[in-house]
Amino acid sequence: MSARVLTAVFRTEAEVLAATRSAREEGFEIVDVYTPYHVHGMDEALGLRPSRLTWVCFLCGAAGLLLALWLQFWTSAVSWPLNVGGKPFDSMPAFVPIAFEITVLFAGLGVVAALLIRARLRPGRAARPPGLERVTDDRFALVVRLTRARPGQHVFEGLSAAHGAESVLDRLEETS
């Protein structure tokens, strides 16, 4: 099955930001917005919820901390206790540097893994660029998918022109 995809190209971030807000208010299905750099306020214009990666980072870090503390305690006090200078077997201050490092390692690797899984970025995945020159160089692009229940192509072209679009391209995209 194929769907019609419209891409509007803009010169400035203010234009694409305003067009994104208007397209969302009109009920268009926004596929993506391509920008050469981060545009402040784009998350709100797209209606995106706050990221849950912070919770993933916290949970992976906590798991790393608990694992590091358990492993150090188990190896030094349970599995192979050594009496070194009369120090206690479970000396927590000695565990702090390793526990900190493992916490940071687990948090970082967990966030990267969650991002790759959530964004479906895997080896061999074919990219679907918008097919436009200079889009991520010095131009901005707003990509919407037309469905029968939503406004049509003429509405989007008028909305884009009202916000200063250079061009609006129409293409068919295969959906799976």
Find out whether 30 and 143 touch, Cβ atoms under 8 Å.
yes
Residue with tokens 């293409």: 171
| Listed residue (79, 121, 73) closest to 98, CA to CA | 73
pTM, two decimals, is 0.70
Is the per-residue pLDDT at 42 higher than 90?
yes
> Total domain count for the chain?
2
Find out whether 28 and 156 touch, Cβ atoms under 8 Å.
yes
131 — pLDDT class (breaks 50, 70, 90): low
Is the per-residue pLDDT at 87 higher than 90?
no
| Listed residue (79, 22, 10, 64) closest to 47, CA to CA | 22
Task: Output the domain CATH number for residue 145.
Answer: 3.30.70.1110
pLDDT digit string (tens) for 55-76? 999 999 999 999 999 999 999 8
* Integer Cα distance of 89 and 75 in angstroms: 9
In-domain check, residue 129? no
Together in a domain, 40 and 94:
no
Together in a domain, 33 and 10:
yes
Domain that holds residue 34: 2-50+134-174
Dihedral sign of CA atoms 13, 15, 45, 134 in order: negative
According to DSSP, residue 38 is labeled -
Give the chain's mean pLDDT.
Answer: 88
Find out whether 28 and 175 touch, Cβ atoms under 8 Å.
no
pLDDT score, position 175: 64
Residue with tokens 């565990």: 95
* Integer Cα distance of 24 and 32 in angstroms: 12
Together in a domain, 148 and 162:
yes
Together in a domain, 9 and 46:
yes
* Integer Cα distance of 75 and 63 in angstroms: 18
